[in-house]
Amino acid sequence: MKAIAVTPGKPNSVHLTELPMPSPNDVPRDKGVLVRVLKVGVDATDREINESLYGNAPPGDHFLVLGHESFGVVEEVGRAVRNVKPGDFVTATVRRPGGSIYDQIGTYDMTSEETYYERGINLIHGFLTEYFVDSEDYIVRVPQGLKHLHVLMEPMSCAAKAVQQAFEVQRRMKVWRPRVAYVMGAGQIGLLATLVLKLRGLEVYTLARSRAPTRSSEIVAGLEATYVSTSETPVEELARRVGKADLIVDATGSSEMAFTAMKHLGHNGVLVWTSITGGSHTAHVPTDKINIEWVLGNKLLLGSVNANREHFESGIKDLALGEVMYPGVLQKILTNPVDGLDNYQELMRLLVEEKSALKVYMNVGAE
| Residue 94 interacting partner from ligand BGC, Zn ion, none (CB closer than 5 to 8 Å by kind) | ligand BGC
Q: Is the CB of residue 24 less than 8 Å from the CB of residue 78?
A: yes
Lay out the site mask for Zn ion across 34-73 (x = CB under 5 A, - = otherwise). Answer: ---------x-x----------------------------
Indicate the residue among 276 and 347 with the shorter CB distance to ligand BGC: 276
| Residue 66 interacting partner from ligand BGC, Zn ion, none (CB closer than 5 to 8 Å by kind) | none
DSSP run (H or E) holding 31:
none
Quote the CA–CA distance of 78 and 24 in Å, as a whole number: 6
Indicate the residue among 118 and 136 with the shorter CB distance to ligand BGC: 118
- What's the min distance (Å) between Cβ of 120 and ligand BGC? 9
DSSP run (H or E) holding 235:
helix 235-242
Q: Is the CB of residue 264 less than 8 Å from the CB of residue 240?
A: no
| Residue 323 interacting partner from ligand BGC, Zn ion, none (CB closer than 5 to 8 Å by kind) | none
Of residues 190 through 219, those in contact with ligand BGC by CB under 6 A are none
Tell me the residue type at 361.
Y
Contact between 45 and ligand BGC per CB under 6 A: yes
* Total interface residues for ligand BGC by CB under 6 A: 11
Contact between 318 and ligand BGC per CB under 6 A: no
Comparing C-alpha atoms, which of 59, 166, 197, 31 is closest to residue 117?
A: 59
Contact between 306 and ligand BGC per CB under 6 A: yes
Contact between 109 and Zn ion per CB under 5 A: no
- What's the min distance (Å) between Cβ of 118 and Zn ion? 9
DSSP run (H or E) holding 248:
strand 245-250
Q: Is the CB of residue 180 less than 8 Å from the CB of residue 244?
A: yes
For 242, phi then psi, to 5°, come to: -115, -5
Q: Any alpha helices (H) in 254-358, and if so which ranges?
A: 255-260, 287-296, 309-325, 344-353
Quote the CA–CA distance of 204 and 248 in Å, as a whole number: 10
Quote the CA–CA distance of 224 and 205 in Å, as a whole number: 10
* Total interface residues for Zn ion by CB under 5 A: 2
Considering only 158, 180, 271, 360, the residue that binds ligand BGC (CB under 6 A) is 158
Looking at residue 62, what DSSP letter applies?
S
Indicate the residue among 99 and 303 with the shorter CB distance to ligand BGC: 303
Contact between 118 and ligand BGC per CB under 6 A: yes
| Residue 276 interacting partner from ligand BGC, Zn ion, none (CB closer than 5 to 8 Å by kind) | ligand BGC
Long-range contacts of residues 251-255, Cβ cutoff 8 Å, at least 24 apart: 251/159, 251/183, 251/184, 251/185, 251/187, 251/189, 251/190, 251/193, 251/275, 252/184, 252/185, 252/190, 253/44, 253/185, 253/187, 253/277, 254/281, 255/281, 255/283
Indicate the residue among 9 and 234 with the shorter CB distance to ligand BGC: 9
Tell me the residue type at 34.
L
Indicate the residue among 54 and 167 with the shorter CB distance to ligand BGC: 54
Task: Tell whether the torsion through CA atoms of 298, 251, 329 and 72 is positive or negative.
Answer: negative
- What's the min distance (Å) between Cβ of 156 and ligand BGC? 10
Indicate the residue among 26 and 48 with the shorter CB distance to ligand BGC: 48
Contact between 94 and ligand BGC per CB under 6 A: yes
Indicate the residue among 158 and 330 with the shorter CB distance to ligand BGC: 158
| Residue 135 interacting partner from ligand BGC, Zn ion, none (CB closer than 5 to 8 Å by kind) | none
Contact between 43 and ligand BGC per CB under 6 A: yes
List the 15-18 sheet strands across, edge first: 15-18, 2-6, 64-65
| Residue 306 interacting partner from ligand BGC, Zn ion, none (CB closer than 5 to 8 Å by kind) | ligand BGC
- What's the min distance (Å) between Cβ of 116 and ligand BGC? 7
Considering only 305, 320, 352, 357, the residue that binds ligand BGC (CB under 6 A) is 305
Chain residues that interact with ligand BGC, rule: CB under 6 A: 43, 45, 68, 94, 118, 121, 154, 158, 276, 305-306
Chain residues that interact with Zn ion, rule: CB under 5 A: 43, 45
